[in-house]
Amino acid sequence: MNQAAYEALLLRLKEYDRHYHLLDEPLISDVDYDRLLHELVEVEKEHPDWIRPDSPTQRVGMTPESGFAKVTHPVAMLSLGNVFNEAEIRDFVHRVQTASAKPVRFVCELKIDGLAIALRYEQGRLVQGATRGDGQTGEEITTNLRTIRAIPLVLQEPLTIEVRGEAYMPRRSFVMVNEERQKAGEALFANPRNAAAGSLRQLDPALVAKRKLAFFAYAMPNPQGLALGQEEALLRMQALGFVVNPYHQVCQTVDEILAYIEQAGKLRETLPYDIDGVVIKVDDFALSEELGYTAKSPRFAVAYKFAAEQATSRLLSIEWGVGRTGVVTPTALIEPVQLAGTTVSRATLHNEDMIREKDVRLGDLVIVQKAGDIIPEIVGPVLDERTGEETVIVFPVDCPACSEALLREEGEAAWRCVNPACPAKAVESLIHFASRQAMNIDGLGEALLENLYQQGLVKTIPDLYHVEREALLTLDRMGEKSVSNLLQAIAASKEQPLDRVIFGLGIRHVGAKAAKTLAVAFGTMEALQEASFDALLAQDEIGPKMAQSIVQFFADPTKLALIEELRACGLTMRQPLIAKPMGDHPFVGKTFVITGTLATLSREQATEKVTSLGAKVMSSVSKKTDFVLAGEEAGSKLKKAQDLLRDDPSLPLRILSEEEFWAMLSS
């Protein structure tokens, strides 16, 4: 094949991709596409100098990743606030309209049930893709995202922008993946969202490519003059080569929004992908900027969540589980029933008080629903179906795992096992310690930890750092490669910062966010151990109940011995230093807009510098803006700042050149 024929084949495959993803009009079968792709691969092997960066063959890396680096989002990826009924929708619309001097348009979009992803392009080329993470920091999964054919590797224009959207698994791909897992004797994915999440965390991009994930673009967090509103942004992203969901609609009244939601509900089961609601956004970016944000979500957009799907089933028995803190929880075992696209045979009953309040009995026909379309729960019994043969559920008085007497503290709903040697608590503590939000030990899942515990290889948390290769090789499904990867992950976890260790210890009432607060405030494990109740209470988000729990934890000799063992294993007991805002620096508490091309640093680096000094970076200029940092080729944002100053010279707004910025920064 000569180079002209190669170029023709490349263009042909790109056209097939465009029709398949952008137009939803496949021109050839998957088999024929794969045959042509294989032909392209063979040609590029012979002529590597012909390969173009946007060739379909460049989507899959040659070697697996060794792990995922952390990525700080220049603009936080906040979650949306939820609304659940007409009254809450009307309240949202009223609040927005009250804040605007002119009529407000809204854009309604389907809420795709997938994973939020941020894509960064420089000069039109994809350079980074990251997960949402905690909203501030995600994981870089660029290599895996390159395998998604709906994500362009090269844009139609050489722009430097960030685009956000939803990576998801189409229903057809979900069926295919679960069929393959069933044949291989592997556990099935519960739903497409879990399957997509599991796929994107694979270290081998070739495996991710086989899962055939897809992507819808829905936002440009910093449109840089490319669009004035959400509808225009969607059209702009589509013109750049992104797949945008076709079912978005502009609405001007509450009634139009409600009609769209009703239509989306009817459409839900016919779509080739899962949706779990509707997103309602203000169409005007300038108004959105004025509306601003709460600590957790924007004020200019909300997500309407579909009502939980319900079904009826027979309650067969109760399984009593013991958590890492000793709380005994009842799980209802029910006759299998289809619910929200999955087969459900287990549902939560929360605690004894909930069972009594709902008057749920063994043998009842019960109503089951998925809370937030995720967790199956028992809503209550169908009283009209009772026969009189149902029996009252008796809560155990002894621990189902170790037979020690259970304790229920005054003012609490939970019964708790207080036996420190309870095997169920030990296993759950191990699972928690190794979990993603704690020490994030890849490959150390629940099933393996339970097996390690049963085999006597790991009984306590420090045992994880002493487990031997030879012992691991004796376990089922643990070959040389799996064991090597696991041991590397365990060794790597020693470098996790203090907040991960604190959370991993499982201190009662201390979640991941509180652990971060404690780690930043006290810096070292020793300082935290010595902290008084009052010193703890003085920290943001640490209340009396949590402070008392922390004091009690560090007063326990067995907990102190555990910490010493972990220190001896080589764990980091220190939090990395974070530059604190300088109280007298001119950027403290100020609002920045960064526009144009900077000569000495990127926008991301500029953002990091000003936010580290206590400033906030926004995407558009308003009367509330304090500084506009203007680089070369600054466009509409610079013009708007100049217009605002011309109309009202008394505004505190100041336009900075790069030289002026550096001068103020060093002050």
pLDDT digits (tens, 9 = 90+) for 506-521: 998 898 878 988 988 8
Of the two residues 666 and 100, the one the predictor is more confident about is 100
Distance CA 457, CA 450 (A): 10
Q: Do 528 and 398 reside in the same domain of the chain?
A: no
Q: Do 299 and 318 reside in the same domain of the chain?
A: no
- Tracing tokens 């291989």 back to the chain, one arrives at 184
pLDDT digits (tens, 9 = 90+) for 303-327: 998 877 788 999 999 999 998 888 9
Rounded mean pLDDT of 26-51? 79
Write b or e for each residue in 629-665: b if 16 or more Cβ atoms lie within 10 A of its Cβ, otherwise e: bbbeebeebbebbeebeeeeeeeebbbbebeebeebe
Q: Are 553 and 559 in contact (CB under 8 A)?
A: yes
Strands 591-595 and 616-618: parallel
Number of domains in the chain: 5
Pair of tokens at residue 208? 């991710």
The distance of Cα 273 from the centroid of its chain, to the nearest Å, equals 19
Distance CA 327, CA 422 (A): 12
Q: Do 52 and 88 reside in the same domain of the chain?
A: no
Is residue 597 very low, low, confident or very high in pLDDT (cuts 50, 70, 90)? confident
pLDDT digits (tens, 9 = 90+) for 425-466: 999 999 999 998 899 999 998 999 999 999 999 999 999 999
Distance CA 657, CA 235 (A): 33
Q: Which of residues 340, 372, 407 is at a domain's end?
A: 407
111: annotated active-site residue: yes
Considering the candidates 70, 111, 616, 637, report the single residue annotated as catalytic. Answer: 111
Is residue 249 very low, low, confident or very high in pLDDT (cuts 50, 70, 90)? very high
Q: Can you give the pLDDT at residue 135?
A: 83
Q: Which of residues 509, 538, 569 is at a domain's end?
A: 569
Pair of tokens at residue 7? 């170029």
Q: Can you give the pLDDT at residue 131?
A: 92
Q: Are 623 and 640 in contact (CB under 8 A)?
A: no
Q: Which of residues 305, 327, 360 is at a domain's end?
A: 305
Rounded mean pLDDT of 475-492? 93
Q: Do 91 and 227 reside in the same domain of the chain?
A: yes
Distance CA 68, CA 30 (A): 31
Three-state secondary-structure class, residue 588: coil
Asked whether the predicted pLDDT for residue 614 surpasses 50, the reply is yes
The helix or strand, by DSSP H or E, that contains position 334, with its residue range, turns out to be: strand 328-339
CA torsion sign for 35, 37, 43, 45 is: negative
Is residue 485 very low, low, confident or very high in pLDDT (cuts 50, 70, 90)? very high
Q: Do 219 and 356 reside in the same domain of the chain?
A: no
The DSSP symbol for 1 reads: -
Q: Can you give the pLDDT at residue 133?
A: 83
DSSP assignment string, 187-199? PPPSSHHHHHHHH
Distance CA 307, CA 409 (A): 35
Pair of tokens at residue 661? 């910025």
Asked whether the predicted pLDDT for residue 87 surpasses 90, the reply is yes
Q: Do 105 and 214 reside in the same domain of the chain?
A: yes
From residue 552, alpha-carbon distances to 41, 327, 500, 556, 587 in Å are 63, 18, 20, 7, 41
Rounded mean pLDDT of 150-157? 94
Q: Are 154 and 54 in contact (CB under 8 A)?
A: yes
For residue 213, tell me if it sits in a domain.
yes
Strands 249-251 and 106-112: antiparallel
158-162, 582-586, 639-643 — which one is most confidently predicted on average? 158-162
Is residue 64 very low, low, confident or very high in pLDDT (cuts 50, 70, 90)? very low
CATH number for position 437: 1.10.150.20
Q: Can you give the pLDDT at residue 667?
A: 62
Distance CA 237, CA 242 (A): 6
Of 241, 270, 236, 170, nearest to 23 (Cα)? 241
Q: Can you give the pLDDT at residue 373?
A: 46
Distance CA 191, CA 378 (A): 20
Is residue 584 very low, low, confident or very high in pLDDT (cuts 50, 70, 90)? confident
Q: Do 386 and 468 reside in the same domain of the chain?
A: no
Pair of tokens at residue 581? 């805002």
Rounded mean pLDDT of 212-218? 95
pLDDT digits (tens, 9 = 90+) for 4-27: 888 888 888 878 877 665 555 667
How many Cα atoms are found within 13 Å in the side-chain-facing hemisphere of 472?
Answer: 23
pTM of the predicted protein model: 0.52
Q: What domain range is 30 assigned to?
A: 3-59
Q: Are 12 and 36 in contact (CB under 8 A)?
A: yes
